[in-house]
Amino acid sequence: MGNEAACTLKIGKRKSIGKALLETSEILFRPGDGSPRVKIPFGAMKSVKAVDGELCVETSNGTMTFELGPAATKWREKILHPKSRAEKLGVKSGMNVSLLGEFDGDFLKELRAAMKMITTRKVDAKSEMIFLAVNLARDLPSAFAKTAKVITGATALWIVYPKGKKEITENDVLTGGRKVGLKDVKVVGFSPTHTALKFVLPIAKR
């Protein structure tokens, strides 16, 4: 079980069945009955415990208990000891990276602290990882077509796009990558506002 789970949320005597998502800096719970979603930022958590398959999160508004089964302990560890964004993206010291599009300043600082070489506005032939920011679904076909031509070997392409926007959805990104022969292998919460989806060349085409 990863960062998304169908579960029951208990708040006091009230129970709600829905879907819980462990994001980069918060837990989101979407009730199946259409009730307002519950959002718990990590910074608002006073304590986090995993007991008998239940993730118990104490906040100033009381204790919220997620019935997650075996995943409860894993979620607790991810909340208390989160990986850095660079670790989740697979960025390693000394890599060559290319950036296409606009990225937030914090991400650029993270990269500059570890990277051997960063190329912007174009893809360097030696790049081991490419980050491509796309805000609208209509821009995906041309973006994928241009980038797919320069991907070789095990080079990873991360598409970074806004989350929760009708102008571009996960399905739009998946469809765009698959149309140019790329394989989607991982999705990561890039930031509170953006998601990153990783593509690579299928092994048979490397």
Tell which of 48, 80, 112 closes a domain.
80
Query: How far is Cα 195 from Cα 190, in angstroms, rounded to an integer?
Result: 5
Q: Give the residue, 113 or 172, on which the prediction is more confident.
A: 172
pLDDT over 70 percentage in the chain: 99
Kind and range of the H or E element at 109? helix 105-114
Query: How far is Cα 71 from Cα 20, in angstroms, rounded to an integer?
Result: 12
pLDDT in tens, 104-123: 889 988 888 877 789 998 99
Return the pLDDT at 7: 96
- For residue 12, give its domain range: 4-80
With contact defined as beta carbons under 8 Å apart, do 137 and 171 qualify?
no
What is the side-by-side order of every strand in the sheet holding 156-162? Answer: 117-120, 96-100, 129-133, 156-162, 194-200, 183-189
With contact defined as beta carbons under 8 Å apart, do 165 and 172 qualify?
no
Whether residues 115 and 201 fall in one domain: yes
Query: How far is Cα 58 from Cα 47, in angstroms, rounded to an integer?
Result: 5
Question: Number of structural domains, the chain?
Answer: 2
Query: How far is Cα 111 from Cα 42, in angstroms, rounded to an integer?
Result: 24
Whether residues 91 and 42 fall in one domain: no
In the numeric block, the tokens 């190329």 are attached to 119
Q: How far is CA 187 from the centre of its chain?
A: 5
Whether residues 156 and 176 fall in one domain: yes
Neighbour-count burial for 42-63, b at 16+ CB within 10 Å, e otherwise: beebeebebeeebbbbeeeeee
Return the pLDDT at 113: 83
Q: How far is CA 61 from the centre of its chain?
A: 27
Whether residues 95 and 132 fall in one domain: yes
Whether residues 72 and 159 fall in one domain: no
Tell which of 45, 80, 115 closes a domain.
80
Whether residues 60 and 98 fall in one domain: no
Whether residues 55 and 99 fall in one domain: no
Query: How far is Cα 126 from Cα 148, in angstroms, rounded to an integer?
Result: 15
pLDDT over 90 percentage in the chain: 72
pLDDT in tens, 47-90: 999 999 999 999 998 999 999 999 999 999 999 998 888 888 99
